[in-house]
Structures are given as structure tokens and as C-alpha cells.
Structure 1
């Protein structure tokens, strides 16, 4: 009776990924208006508010997608409704959600500190999706403990970097004195977490390739 719920949750994660990407492009489209010298202060404030609302929408969509990642696995076990379709779609939905969020961050923050780890993670995820279609990978390419740590690092770093865009689109300057502001330290730690996730992505990808080559000997 409830066997459809796990797959419905997994499909909804794909929808949330599309919503994250939609919100990112809408927020990015407001940037030229904020940079327009002819825009008055009141208009600029209104545009900044709309941009922040789109960032909030994207963050809520991403968090909702993360919740479905937990709920679909729980529902599959609770209702004994595991299916081949769900096993195939679940990792793809995860990669779509993470990929959409990484593109959103790249559009918003516009720095190579985001571009490089995002590109590495996206490239690895595309490769792993292709690898899972290979017959020699059947039964070998399964989530490892290290891959789960990688996913956790991705989710924490992405959520942490999206949060200030939704709450404080323009970071406040230090109130006085020299030294690093606390927000810069937190942002630096989150960016470092994203680089760690990229490194773990490459490492787990290499492990899967090694396992497949070992099975063919």
C-alpha cells in the first residue's frame, strides 16, 4: 500500500534540485540591476531584498531535498519497499541535488575557491553515474563508508555557504580594529570543507575504479 512512497521521495529530490537551480538563476539575474549606476538607492534595496528571497527559496529547496535523502531510505526499510528503480535513481538524485547547489554557489560567490572544488565534484559525479551503467561495475560500485563521509562534508559545506546568502547577502564589515572578522573565519572553514569534500570525491572515485579493475583480473 505504501510501496510508492520511497520512490516518490526520491523523485521529489530531483524536483528540489531543479528548484535550487531555478532560484540560483533568478538571484543571479538580479545582479546586473544591483550594479546599474542608474538605479536609485530605494530600488537597489528592493532588488537586494528580492535577491535574498530567491537565495532563501534555494536554501529551503536544498534542505528539503536533503530531508528526502534521509526519508526515502527510512521509508524503503519501514515499508519493505526497496526496488531496483529506487536503487538506481537514489544516487542520481543525490548528485543532481548536490550539483544544483554547487552551481548555485558558483553563480552567487563568483570565486575560483568555489569553481575548482565544484568542478571536481561535478566531474567525479558525472563519471560515477556513467560508471554505474557499465556491466563490469555491477555489484561493485556501492556507497562506501568514505563516500558517506564525503557526502556529509558536501552537505555541511554547501548548507553553511548558502545560509549567509539567505540571511545576510552582504556581510558586515568588521566593527573596528585589525584582524580577521569571525564571519571570514567561518566562511574559510566552510570553503575548506568543500575542498575536503572534493578531495574525498576523487579518492572514492579512484577506489571504485581500482575495485573494478581488481575484479577483472
Structure 2
């Protein structure tokens, strides 16, 4: 293996590590002072950076099971921790402030339960061989990332949209009836991710890897 390939694998592993380290920081920010708009902006920025590392680690180092990556097995774990950790932090803040309700709780519960169940049932096998190729799992991850980022960003993004709606003549009217569109879009994305989670989770749990040497 060439030095450039080794360097690419090491850089990819570093990006995965950044995603792992960013997760608890984002969670602390959310629990600390979300939905304060300034804190929400910082948490959103960190979440987007963490999400982008998921794209670029594959770009530079190949798939998680690539021979170029020494710690590629952490890739899927980092994705799971980022999504579930941030959703749990949001759930805690909503519950603490009396805004925890079923339309949010159901998809979050499905996503988190699916990840825990798959991890407990298939964790060792997946850490050794990687996740089976499953387009629904990729779609689930994409919608979960999108939904979570919209929810985290909703305080400042809604404020910005409301300022555009307000103009100069209807400022008080608009600010007294803030737009729920960003939050609703985030919830909708989570519902789609939850549906994909159920289907892809069943496929993973029922998947049987062919024995080595089998035709």
C-alpha cells in the first residue's frame, strides 16, 4: 500500500475521531442553554461539521472496512452516537421545559431503540465485518441527519425566517406567532428516518453473513 493511501486512511480516521469528540460537546451545549439562538447557532455549526466528516472520511479513506483505515470500524459507531446523542439531549431539554410530546417522542424513540437493539444483537459482528449494504440504512441516516440538524437549528433559523416575514409593518404580529415550519420539517424528516429505521433494522437483524469459503 502506498504512502498516499496510508495518509488518506489516517486522515479519514482523524475525521471520524472529530465526529466522536464533537458529539458530547454538542450535547452539552444543547442541555446547557438550547434553545437560546446564539447557543443554537454554535450547536448547529458543530453538528454540520460533524455530519460533513461522515462524507469526507469515506472520500479520503474509502468505506469503513477499507484496508487503508485502521479505525474504520468506528465510522458507523460515530454516526450512531452523533444522531442518538443529540436527539437524546433535545428530548431532555424539551421534557425539562414541558414541551415533550408524542409527535417528537415517537420517531426519536424508534430511532434510538433501533440503534440500541441492532448494537446489542449485532454489535460484535458489525464491528468485525461492517454493516451489510443496505440502501435503506443510508437513507435512514440521511433523513436522520437532516431532521436533527433542522431541529437543532430551529431557534435561530425560525427567528431569521420570522424577520423576513415581518418586514416593517407586521413585526409584533409575526413575532407573537412564530413560524413552526422549520421544526415541523425536522420532525417530518425524523418520521421518515424512523420508518426506514424499522425496515432496515429488520433487514440487518435477519441478515446472515455467508460462511467463509462458501460459494
TM-score (norm 1): 0.72
What does residue 187 of structure 2 align with? Answer: 191
Aligned pair 1:121/2:127, yes or no?
A: no
> What's the offset of the Cα at 1:188?
2.5
| Paired residue secondary structure (1:183) | coil
| Paired residue secondary structure (2:71) | helix
Query: Which segments of structure 1 move beyond 6 Å, counting only runs of 4 or more?
Result: none
What does residue 99 of structure 1 align with? Answer: 84
What does residue 34 of structure 1 align with? Answer: none
Distance 1:7 1:126, change over 3 A: same
CA contact (8 A) 1:121 1:198 kept: yes
**Higher relative contact order, structure no. (Cα contacts within 8 Å, ≥ 6 residues apart):** 1
The alignment yields a C-alpha RMSD, in angstroms, of 3.4
Deviation by residue 1:66-97 (Cα, 9 ceiling, x = unmatched) = 0110111111039x8633521x1000000111
CA contact (8 A) 1:140 1:208 kept: no
> What's the offset of the Cα at 1:128?
2.1
What does residue 68 of structure 2 align with? Answer: 82
| Paired residue secondary structure (2:179) | helix
> What's the offset of the Cα at 1:54?
1.7
* Structure 2 unaligned blocks of 5 or more: none
TM-score (norm 2): 0.73
* Structure 1 unaligned blocks of 5 or more: 29-47
Aligned pair 1:207/2:203, yes or no?
A: yes
| Paired residue secondary structure (1:133) | helix
CA distance in 1, matches of 2:57, 2:16: 6
CA contact (8 A) 1:5 1:72 kept: yes
